[in-house]
Amino acid sequence: MKIRKIGNLEVSPIGMGCMAFSHGYGAAPAEDYSIDAIRVAHDFGCTFYDTAEIYGTEQFYPGHNEQVTGKAIKPFRKDVVLATKLFLAPEEFGDNGVDIYGAIKKHVEKSLVNLQTDFIDLYYLHRIHRQIPVEEVASAMGKLIDEGIIRGWGLSQVGGDTLRRAHEVTLVTAVQNLNNMMERDCEEDIFPYALANNIGVVPFSPIASGYLSGKITADLKYEKVDDVRRWVPQTQKENIIANMPILDVLAEFSTRKNATNAQIALAWMLHKYPNCVPIPGSKNRERILENLAAWDVELTDEEFDALEVALASVPLHGHRGHVEFVG
Ligand SMILES: NC(=O)c1ccc[n+]([C@@H]2O[C@H](COP(=O)([O-])OP(=O)(O)OC[C@H]3O[C@@H](n4cnc5c(N)ncnc54)[C@H](OP(=O)(O)O)[C@@H]3O)[C@@H](O)[C@H]2O)c1
């Protein structure tokens, strides 16, 4: 079985983003379907699952996605790496001074209940807030590690400077940022430091919210409620059309490798960075397995170099980047 290391955690080379079972890509599937899909992924070899406390807020309630994920993985909880994320707001801190540790502890305790577990393998701060010093979050995460409540911690949508400041206080296990063939800010800002410091990089939206699969067409109708494709730059009508050349590049390589476009998009990042473990998301069982199977699509160095050259020749339209700060 293939494994990768992110920090001190061993995981399958591709993980599973569970978000869409509660949020982000329109109506969530029935719970039974979602649970079955997560278990089928595990049978296939997936040992890394990603959720967050806020997934589900729009369609259900906060914690919904953690509950579905926790229920699904319960039979094999100890065999997998479970990641979740917390959102912190300054209003949560008491008037008698800032108690970041106390605030984080309340979040983690709720997540443990939702996830039906007594520890979390990887606990991320979902967004950075200007008024919440990342050093204090890092220190609180260090305490949670010492207490055995979490095994490692991470940051999401973070810039290089903030990552450095945090890592100096408590070793960061992983960064979860937007990263794919069309969103490459991390290549300059995050990967070099992460590689040098044993930090894993967990790209979210590795298929550019579906665009790189080639299955999104300009006439596709998104759902009215809770569908991020209504605002993601790569899934806007004008960019769907303008970015077709990148799909031609992918089609050429997928034909050559007898793979799908989505698999090439994933195989490319696996080849590029040894500390990279993407977490594609899908509500569709067959596509979940298709995406996981990309760990068997191996590009030779020559193929990878040719792909990089081809990608560099394609102009890109639409850029989301990472907006580091909320508030
Ligand atoms: N930290 C953060 O701020 C943050 C933000 C966003 C997401 N995330 C995490 O990252 C995970 C992945 O993000 P994402 O869902 O945006 O990633 P993504 O896989 O790039 O995009 C998901 C979209 O692509 C489609 N898709 C996936 N695989 C496909 C395939 N093989 N062929 C055709 N279409 C395919 C899905 O459609 P179908 O469902 O119809 O297959 C869905 O519409 C999430 O589940 C979540 O855990 C984190």
Q: Cα–Cα–Cα angle for 109, 139, 53, nearest 5°?
A: 30
- pLDDT (0 to 100) of residue 255: 98
CATH number among 3.20.20.100, 3.40.50.450, 3.40.50.1820, 3.40.50.300, domain 4-209+274-298: 3.20.20.100
Q: In this predicted structure, what is the pLDDT of residue 91? A: 85
Cα of 261 to ligand 1 centre, how many Å?
14
Distance CA 217, CA 240 (A): 7
Residue 70 has what pLDDT?
A: 98
Question: Whose CA is closest to atom 27 on ligand 1?
Answer: 282
C-beta of residue 251 within 8 angstroms of C-beta of residue 261 = yes
Is the pLDDT reported for residue 250 higher than 70?
A: yes
| Nearest residue to 139 via CA among 111, 99, 174, 196 | 99
Q: Give mean pLDDT, residues 215-221.
A: 91
Any ligand 1 atom below 6 A from CB of 70: no
Q: Write down the pLDDT at residue 98.
A: 67
160 Cβ contact list (under 8 Å, min separation 6): 189, 190, 193
Residue 326: pLDDT above 70? yes
* Distances, alpha carbon 301 to alpha carbons 34, 196, 205, 271, 304, in Å: 37, 22, 25, 8, 5
Q: Which residue has the higher pLDDT, 221 or 253?
A: 253
Distance of alpha carbon 45 from alpha carbon 197, whole angstroms: 27
The Cα 108–Cα 106 span in angstroms is 6
Indicate the pLDDT class of residue 42, thresholds 50, 70 and 90.
very high
* 58-86 mean pLDDT: 98
Give the relative orientation of helices 134-146 and 100-115 as an angle to the nearest 10 degrees. Answer: 50
Tokens for 77?
Answer: 């909880």
> What is residue 151's predicted lDDT score, i.e. its pLDDT?
98
Query: Which residue among 204, 283, 322 has the greatest number of ligand 1 atoms within 8 angstroms of its CB, and so is best to mutate?
Result: 204
Mutational pocket test of ligand 1: of 175, 209, 263, the residue with most ligand atoms within 8 Å of the beta carbon: 209
Inter-residue contact 325 to 155 (CB < 8 Å): no
Global confidence as pTM: 0.97
- Confidence (pLDDT) at 220: 85
Q: State yes or no: pLDDT of 1 exceeds 90.
A: no
Please tell me if the CB atom of residue 297 comes closer than 6 angstroms to any atom of ligand 1.
Answer: no
- E strands present in 54-127: 81-86, 120-125
pLDDT interval class at 324 (50, 70, 90)? confident
Residue nearest to atom 24 of ligand 1 (CA): 210
Model confidence at 163, pLDDT cuts 50, 70, 90, reads very high
**pLDDT band at 223; cut points 50, 70, 90:** confident
Cβ of residue 290 lying under 6 Å from some atom of ligand 1: yes
Query: Cα(198)–Cα(201) distance, rounded to whole angstroms?
Result: 10
Residues with a known catalytic role: 55
Q: What's the burial of 191, exposed, middle or buried (CB within 10 Å: 0-12/13-18/19+)? A: buried
pLDDT score, position 95: 64
Q: Is the pLDDT score of 244 beyond 70?
A: yes
Q: Check pocket membership of 291 for ligand 1, CB cut-off 6 A.
A: yes
State yes or no: pLDDT of 118 exceeds 70. yes
Residue nearest to atom 37 of ligand 1 (CA): 282
User: How far is Cα 35 from Cα 201, in angstroms, rounded to an integer?
Assistant: 26
- Count other C-beta atoms under 10 Å from residue 269's C-beta: 20
Mean pLDDT of all residues belonging to the chain:
96
Q: Quick one: which atom of ligand 1 is closest to the CA of 180?
A: 20
Per-residue pLDDT band for 62 (boundaries 50, 70, 90) equals very high
Contact status, residue 133 vs residue 102, Cβ threshold 8 Å: no
CA of 206 to the centre of ligand 1 (A): 7
pLDDT of 29 > 70? The answer is yes
Given the CA of residue 51, which atom of ligand 1 is nearest to it? 47
Please name the residue whose Cα sits nearest to atom 16 of ligand 1. 205
Q: What percent of the chain has pLDDT over 70?
A: 98
pLDDT tier at 96, thresholds 50, 70, 90: low
Q: How far apart are CA 169 and CA 215, in angstroms?
A: 44
DSSP 171-216: ---EEE-B-BTTB-THHHHTHHHHHHTT-EE--BSTTTTTGGGT--
| Out of 223-227, 235-239, 274-278, least confident range | 223-227
**246 within 8 A of 311, measured Cβ to Cβ:** yes
Q: Are 191 and 273 in contact (CB under 8 A)?
A: yes
Task: Pick the more confident residue, 223 or 312.
Answer: 312
Closest among 144, 154, 20, 6 to 81, alpha carbons compared = 6
Separation of 293 CA from ligand 1 center, angstroms?
16
Domain-wise residue ranges, the chain:
4-209+274-298
Compute the average pLDDT of residues 130-150: 96
Q: Do 292 and 12 form a contact (C-beta atoms < 8 A)?
A: yes
Task: Give me the mean pLDDT over the 93-120 stretch.
Answer: 90
What confidence score (pLDDT) does residue 90 get?
84
Cα separation, 117 vs 307, whole angstroms: 42
